[in-house]
Chain A
Amino acid sequence: MIRLEGIGKSFASARALDDVTVEFAASSVHGLLGENGAGKSTLMNVLFGLLRADTGSIVIDGKPARIASPADARAHGIGMVHQHFTLVPTLSVVDNLALAAQAGLGQVPRPAWRARLRALAEPLGWRIDPDVRCGELAVGEQQRVEIVKALAVGGRALILDEPTAVLTPSEALELFSALRGLTARGTAVVFISHKLAEVEAICDRVTILRRGRVVHAGPLAGLTRERMTELMVGAPVETVRKPPTRLAGEMVVEARALTVAGRGVEAAVGDATFMVRAGEIVGVAGVEGNGQRELVRALLGLERPRTGELMVAGAALHRGEVPDRARLGIIPDDRRHEALVLPLSVTRNLLLGEHRRKPFAIAGWLRFSRWRARAAELAGAYDVRAASLGQPVSSLSGGNQQKVVVARELHGGPRLVVAVNPTRGLDIGATAFVMSRLVQARELGAAVLLVHSDLDELLGIADRVLVMCAGRLVDSGWPVAGRDAVARLMMSVDASTHAATGEPAHG
């Protein structure tokens, strides 16, 4: 039994945790819910020793415990699997395990660690090759190694931070059954997630945080999804409603027999033929790392296709040129590195791309008064919440950062919208907002290409769904074919094959 008592933590700007008390009992899966910025990560970082709380204490099995570093946490048998994996891709599974235990390579005999790996993985029903390099594993397998790594410290508690974000639906189910195996052996599992369906499927108890305070703690039984959402957001959230599919208009994207090079010899995208018309949302489903990234790069003119034809908005693409940027809305996968300039203010980020157009610049000189007016207008229309639009965009929450991107990319009525995992890391409210804006863009006549690894969100708004697997693009037949058919297509090639397409896990 782990008990965090009266935890308080403030950062310079805000109070992240306010007198939070939670208990994680052994042999149960504990859901930790809350919007972005509610304090989930801060709380877990306190428990794992990455942050020091201002007030409060941690009690383990009735005795006060001092956790000042991850090493202390590990000494208490607490392991954590972060959203971003921390494996060394060039080292083998066994070496990664030994490295994590800070045993130092060479000091600990590899056979002992092989045995340890087997002892930890087998009860969970996993077979992991101890000598394969981690960089060669598929994402789901890497996660298994991470979990084993976290368990190797004793297995009192396992913290999972949004573990299903990178998994296929069936991989997620396998993960859940493994978690059941763990609780049967006494481990307390802390499961952080935004996906309420998963919380319902796996959790025994649920703690909900809002603005740094516990607003609910108790058994899952008797909690409806609507009630959980309401507790998290503080108000009922309306679901995104998609107006009926209309007849799609003119061709905006037309790709024929498109092949795009990957990092290795093999093509990352092979022989892809598809089109996107004005007024429709075309979804691209698939497990991450199956060529989606390369497909999008080709579409945006960042990479020259090896063979095939690609027409965007009636013009053939040339390498290194982003096609007619004024009519294109791009919501990239990694907003922090590809969409935003973090040290710059919200205002400047909102005007990025439009900065050289009148009236924002005249004869090469910037007109900041116009910038501020436009930024205020956009922030209002897209509900960007910031203390001041002059503050660096890095100081905003993930959801508000994404709203900045969405506002900038969609406000001008783009002809083509390319969105990649646009809701990654966002909470329920922000997710609904982003999805509804994509639907709105479609209603205004944009062609929308939505590449998304969350199948349910994708199916929620897509008119047609293509599935990408091992570089191949297949029409799934959605919506005539059902969700199961799409999910099956996503896994038409097994894990070992798509690990070989040259895209190691990222994120």
Chain B
Amino acid sequence: MADPGSVLPVTVPAPSAEQRGPARWRDPAVALLAVAVAVVLLLIGLAIAGYAPTDVASTWLSGALGSGVRRALSLQEAGPLLMTGLAVAIAFRAGALNIGGEGQFLLGSVAMIACGTAFRIPGPAWFATIVALTAGALAGAAWAGLAWALERWRGVPLVLSTILLNFIAVYAVSLLVHGVLQDPLTVAPQTAEIPEGMRLPVLATGSKLHLGVAFAAALAVALWLVFERTVFGFELGVVGMNPSAARLAGMPVARRRFEAMLLSGGVAGLGGAFQQAGVTYYMSDSSASYGYAGVAVALLGRLHPLGVAAAAVFFGMLDTGSRNLERVMDVPHDLGDVAKGLAVLAVLVAAAVFFRQARVEAS
């Protein structure tokens, strides 16, 4: 099995609870500093292009945080990113490079839509919702499990199989949306809406900030505890950092990686189901690419569940803020994506520089 560090510039961070005093804050401080550098670079670039940096910053901030609704919209946007980001963090922690969040998210979405439109689930609507959410999680887990099985029995690297399974998922969804799941009342390639009873409660009026986002936040805290405080989380980290030592220490390496993949796929799939039940209510054949963005979110958050949560909120703010920028100042909203890319790059470079220095000192 490949050493994850050699494929992607990822290092599983040591548990933060271990380090006391200033060392404990070093990792988040490095990440914050890198993000700040990225933002400054971006503003300099915009200044060169003729936009006053102060105007850009204030317009962006008011767009992201200016009112209660705006704040809710930023969090709403952070929701799916948090789910896919946590999914990536779980898998990467165990050294399983699951880049398949996109496919797992889509399959979770489709499972929710199918349960809400095509199948009739008996019982009250809340029961149907829970069944549909569970189906979403299972669909994502199964898709991830398939990639794991390909590696386990056929030697296909996870990075490869998960990416390729993304394409299959995208076209499978397209097939369904054009076929059995297509809304009979339209000619457009889109599904019918799920019934109102199955939609997730909205937490803030004027937005679709739904219960699923709160669940995602709770999941981040729960995962933090699991990673730092449980046998399972400890073994997951050791398997990711050093599989050879893990095996010699008697840990079931293959099983832990399998569990990590299932959990990861399940979280991504559940994220997709949430998004359908909480925000879109129907599917078309275009994707918002939350799965791929999840990789960036996880890396920006240094694979730490709380860091991932912070990164997801930051990305959510970038989205709503840059939409406001386009409206007010006519700056293309793609700027938000540029900012995301720069931030992730800055954090990866900072981490690489920082860890190299630490390595040299250690030797």
Contacts and interface: CB of A to CB of B under 8 A. Distances in A.
Interface string B345-363: 0000000000000010110
B245 interface: yes
B361 A355 contact: no
Interface of B is mostly: helix
Contacts of A347: 18
Contacts of B249: 325, 352-353
B293 interface: no
B248 A341 contact: no
Given A339-B248, A348-B18, A392-B14, A355 B234 contact: yes
Interface stretch (B187-195, B224-232, B261-269): B224-232
Interface stretch (A146-154, A187-195, A330-338): A330-338
B343 interface: no
B244 interface: yes
Contact of B245 (A11, A352, A365): A352
A300 B249 CA distance: 11
A344 B14 contact: yes
Given A13-B361, A342-B242, A344-B238, A300 B230 contact: no
B250 A343 contact: no
A356 B18 contact: no
A366 interface: yes
Contacts of B242: 337, 340-342
Interface residues of A, number: 33
B154 interface: no
A364 B230 contact: yes
Contacts of A343: 11-14, 241
Interface string A376-417: 000000000000001010110000000000000000000000
Interface string B236-272: 0110011011111110001000000000000000000
B120 interface: no
Interface of A is mostly: loop
A345 interface: yes
B19 interface: yes
A332 B229 contact: no
Contact of B18 (A300, A302, A337, A345): A345
B244 A337 contact: yes
B248 A364 contact: no
A365 B229 contact: yes
Interface in A345-380: 345, 347-348, 352-353, 355-356, 361, 364-366
Nearest to B241: A341
Interface in A96-133: none
A390 B361 contact: no
A38 B20 CA distance: 29
Contact of B248 (A332, A365, A366): A332
Given A322-B248, A344-B15, A366-B229, 19 more contacts: A322-B250, A339-B245, A341-B238, A341-B242, A342-B242, A343-B13, A343-B241, A345-B14, A348-B18, A353-B249, A355-B234, A356-B235, A364-B231, A364-B232, A365-B230, A365-B231, A366-B230, A390-B20, A394-B359
10 contacts: A13-B361, A340-B245, A343-B12, A343-B14, A344-B237, A345-B18, A348-B234, A352-B238, A390-B20, A394-B359
Interface of A: 11-13, 300, 302, 320, 322, 325, 330, 332, 337-345, 347-348, 352-353, 355-356, 361, 364-366, 390, 392, 394-395
Interface of B: 11-15, 18-20, 229-232, 234-235, 237-238, 241-242, 244-250, 254, 359, 361-362
**Closest 5 pairs (CB-CB, A-B):** A325-B250, A353-B249, A343-B14, A394-B362, A341-B242
